[in-house]
Chains A and B, each alone.
Chain A
Amino acid sequence: MMNTPQLDHPLTGPFWKAAARQELQVTWCGACNHAVWYPRANCPDCGDPLHWRALSGEGLLASWCEVAAGLNPNFPTAYTCALVSPVEAPHIRIVMQLANSPAEKALSCDMPGRVRFIPLQQAAGEPYLAPAFEPYHDDDTACDKQLAPG
């Protein structure tokens, strides 16, 4: 079954509009000062309305899966899917793909990296910008990590 991002959806549209601007946003409770994911209208802990907040894009690779060609009819060629925990919200996980093919770098759980935005296109439908996790390379310096994503 095909599902492309719906920019006008009240709960999930803001995530995809931000992604189109190459920004990673999640819903946040100001009173509790923590992320609530997946999005909903109100904080499950205190009941306050949630708002969207931009994150730095840095995070840890909670886990991943190498999807063989043909398993997912929406994405017919092989790809790697990941769960990423943002540094500002280590208790949540954002679903995304990996930015590079795994052969380029050995993956391990909890490895740090950052989100950049890549075009995804399913078997049918228009391409869209989506967050993708890029592990830091061993020779990355702290200075490199501060470069703007993109």
Chain B
Amino acid sequence: MTRRSLQSIARAAVVPDGGTSVALDDIAGAAAITGIGETAVSGPSGREPRQMALEAIAAAIADAGLQPADIDGLMVSGHIADQVTADDFRRHFGTRRPLWFSTDGGAMIWAGTCGHTAATAMLAGKATHIVNVFAVDWASRRAAGTGTPGDWHAGEALKAHLEVPMGWYPQPVYFATFARRYMHEYGLTEEQLATIPLTFRRHANGHPGAVMGGRKLTLEDYLNRPPLAGPLRREDCCLISDGAAAWVMSPTERARDMPQVPAIIDGVGHGRIAGAPYISQQRDMTATPQVFAAPWAYAMANTSPSEIDVIAVYDCFSSTALMQIEDLGFCRKGDGGSFIQDNRLHHTRPRQEGGIPCNTHGGLLSHSYLLGASHVVELVKQLRGSAANPVTDARRAVYAGFTADESSTLILRRGR
């Protein structure tokens, strides 16, 4: 297969000032997601992350039609405590073979970039069937008072000394500040923003197992809720959850003979703001680093937003979801508030009817806070035609990963 040069991708991937694209080699079409697995997702459950991870891995391997002994690569998060090791894998599954191991996996941006890391490892002959897994027990940790998602932010020296003592902490405060600026610049109303949590909630209502699956949310409910970090309400902020998700990645030529419809990894992008990780100083408070990631992924995949059928964006906050829909190129910056109206993000309004179904499992706002791992699993289901809230004839899907100062983009294509 002829691969594009970095220069050729860079020429096509034009990004604005204020950040950069990571120069990722062309891996388009080399690998595919061939198996997916999930545990139940929940609030505080007392479940142990390693056990949840192994359960999700077992489900993903079985879904791919493989045996544990077929797996020769393992990717986990290097940023979250208590992830599984290669030894955990061998001990649990009773296998002996060495595992190519990477801590550049997991969720958030890595749920997108792991597709590139895995494909690169396969092309170099380091591994064949690679599992990426992510497990989190932050609901249990928060309930027990042993940790919160804000810990990293309070531990970074300059943030700890110049933000935390002023009260610019935890994360809802950051993104509410940016949402306020967005409202000022583009006239976004609270009613318009409500469309994000309301649509994702409707998706969760139709998705078995979603944490908020049984809870309806109306516009009136939403508007009656007090601000948590004004202008954001609790409904604009992600859940805190326990759970795990995993997927198997395999060379595309192997995937053709495997049981599931492959989700071929066609493009990956990775961008970061200048001056990372200090988002208080980012050039444009109304955009996410997705503007530095998506153009590279589209160029690698030789596709464009007009060819995408379904998306899953990292919706830690409703406003960051809205910005990423713009930053992925589905509408102009600032038009998002009106663009998302009229069911445009709902799974029943496909692309040919002007929609762009988004977070069809309910997202971080209403499915669970698996930091994007469930987003990728949901997109694979959409491409297979097995999603609970199906998008008719979905052929291309995009995941938008986010860590505040960095973003990733993963473009998947239905393999048959």
Which residues of A are in contact with B by a Cβ distance under 8 Å? 1-6, 9, 11-12, 15-16, 37-39, 44, 62-68, 71-72, 74-75, 79, 81-83, 92-93, 95-97, 108-110, 120, 122, 128, 130
Shortest A25–chain B CB gap in Å is: 12
State which of A4, A16, A68, A95 has its C-beta within 8 Å of the C-beta of B163. Answer: A95
**In the bound complex, do residue A81 and residue B173 qualify as a contact, i.e. CB atoms below 8 Å apart?**
yes
Within 8 Å CB of B176, what residues of A?
A: 65-66
Q: Is the CB of A62 within 8 A of B285?
A: yes
In the complex the two chains form, what is the Cα distance from A20 to B327 in whole Å? 42
A3 cross-chain contacts in B, Cβ below 8 A: 154, 160-161, 164-165
Q: List 29 A-B contacts (CB under 8 A).
A: A1-B150, A1-B164, A2-B164, A3-B165, A4-B165, A5-B165, A9-B157, A12-B161, A38-B281, A62-B181, A63-B178, A63-B181, A65-B177, A65-B229, A66-B229, A67-B230, A68-B226, A68-B228, A71-B172, A72-B167, A74-B167, A81-B173, A83-B168, A83-B280, A97-B166, A97-B167, A109-B185, A120-B166, A130-B165
- Which residues of chain A are within 8 angstroms of B44 by Cβ–Cβ distance? none
Q: Residue on A with the closest CB to B274?
A: A44
Size of interface on B: residues with Cβ below 8 Å to A: 36
Q: Are A72 and B173 CB-contacts (below 8 A) given A3-B161, A5-B165, A38-B281?
A: yes
Q: How far is the CA of A110 from the CA of B342 in the complex (A)?
A: 32
- Interface residue B78 (Cβ < 8 Å from any Cβ of A): no
For residue B6, CB closer than 8 A to chain A, the reply is no
Residues in chain A near residue B285, CB distance under 8 A? 62-63, 83
A110 to B181, CA, bound (A): 9
**Cβ-based interface call for B307 (8 A):** no
Number of A-B contacts (CB under 8 A): 113
CB distance from B288 to the nearest CB of A (A): 16
Instruction: Give Cα A54 to B230, complex, Å.
Output: 32
B124-159 to A contact mask, C-beta < 8 Å, 1/0: 000000000000000000000000001100110110
Which DSSP category, helix, strand, loop or mixed, fits chain A's interface?
A: loop
The answer to whether the Cβ of B278 comes within 8 Å of any Cβ in the partner chain is yes
- Give the residues in chain A near B1, CB-CB below 8 Å: none
Q: Please, how many angstroms separate the alpha-carbon atoms of A96 and B379 in the complex?
A: 41
Pairwise interchain contact B166-A130, C-beta atoms closer than 8 A: yes
Question: Hey, what's the 0/1 contact readout for B303-330 against A, CB within 8 Å counting as 1?
Answer: 0000000000000000000000000000
B184: CB under 8 A from chain A? Answer: yes
